[in-house]
Amino acid sequence: MRDGKVIGEGFHAEYGELHAERAALADCERRRENPTGATMFVTLEPCAHAGKQPPCTEAILAAGISRVVVASDDPSEKAAGRGLGILRDGGVEVELAAGEEATRARLLNQAFRKHSRTGLPLVTLKLAMSLDGRTAPPAGDSPWISGEQSRELVHRWRAESDAIAVGIGTVLADDPLLTARSPGARQPLRVVFDRQARTPLDSQLLATLGQSPVLVVVAPEADASALREAGTEILVADGIDAALAALGRRNVTSLFLEGGPTLANAFQAANQLDEARTFVAPVLLGGDTAVSRAGGADAGGPRTEAQPPPAGPSAVATGPVRQQPLSHTVETIGDDTLITARFKEW
């Protein structure tokens, strides 16, 4: 930015591609703007090490940027303030944001921050329920609880996530695609927690492997040879913690959980939920076959995951685990109410 005018913008679009700083400088070139003497605003401390891309600090110094305003630090081991020191040594004025701006930047980068600190993906649970706490309608009713605007938002969230996960109960009951159906959307890795390798070979997931890969998480004793031969990737993991660690090692930094009550309960019991986004629709479903959030005695409908074996390898919820959010927001999406609760901050 120079004299209040934006002369270039950029963001890190995909792993391995240009970082935000280099993308913004490339945009300056496209606009035929000279960045010398300009101020650069970044949400995350510029990197000072070489990885898939060269250090952003080198590009900033070479471009002649005179001032850099940084909204949040980079907590990764290779960064942690190094970039700021290099910029200052190079004569660049460095300013750190504070207050609400700094908080918003940290929240914007939660997936990156958690993966940098723990090696694990950020886990976000999505739920939709009726006013009487049902998470799926009775048999023969409309398959949707939330409204059209809410469903459009979910597809956007899918596209923003590295991976989307469900349990085998959802696959058997709904035969979902799990794709992001927004124009030009990036497709996430599709993950099924399937202890006994029961994912059907004729499922929509396997029929659409060309659109996005499918990874099936199985227990060590499972026979997943047929699924492997069909083209799915098999992850053998003894428990949710092990599965998340393996996903993190393949650079999955965000996992969007849409798996129903059993999978949700298992992740909650393992203390692996970072955030929950719950749509509450203004409708009463009732009925003995509508599925409740807990997947308990009234979970007899076709979409329940309470009756099959545990959703993930050794993923057994041994009892309710109460989690009080650090913060929460409430907003209206169409006719629905969206409650976003954040349980951890990284």
Asked if 254 contacts 161 with a C-beta cutoff of 8 angstroms, the reply is: yes
**Paired residues of 96 in beta bridges:** 70
Specify the pairing of strand 275-280 against strand 336-342. antiparallel
Q: Which of these is catalytic: 21, 45, 258, 305?
A: 21
Least Cα distance to 320 among 260, 243, 264 occurs for 264
Cβ neighbours around 234 below 10 Å, total: 17
User: What single-letter DSSP state applies at residue 165?
Assistant: E
Long-range Cβ contact pairs of 82-89 (< 8 A, separation 24 or more): 82/48, 82/49, 83/45, 83/46, 83/47, 83/48, 83/55, 83/56, 83/57, 84/45, 84/46, 86/48, 86/55, 86/57, 86/61, 87/46, 87/57, 87/60, 87/61
Residue 21 known to be catalytic: yes
Q: What is the CA radius of gyration of the chain?
A: 22
The CA distances from residue 71 to 40, 104, 106, 107, 111, in Å, are 11, 8, 8, 11, 16
Asked if 185 contacts 212 with a C-beta cutoff of 8 angstroms, the reply is: no
Asked if 235 contacts 218 with a C-beta cutoff of 8 angstroms, the reply is: yes
Specify the pairing of strand 291-292 against strand 134-136. antiparallel
The CA distances from residue 111 to 4, 118, 191, 231, in Å, are 31, 11, 18, 29
Structure tokens at 9: 């913008």
- Residues tagged active-site: 21
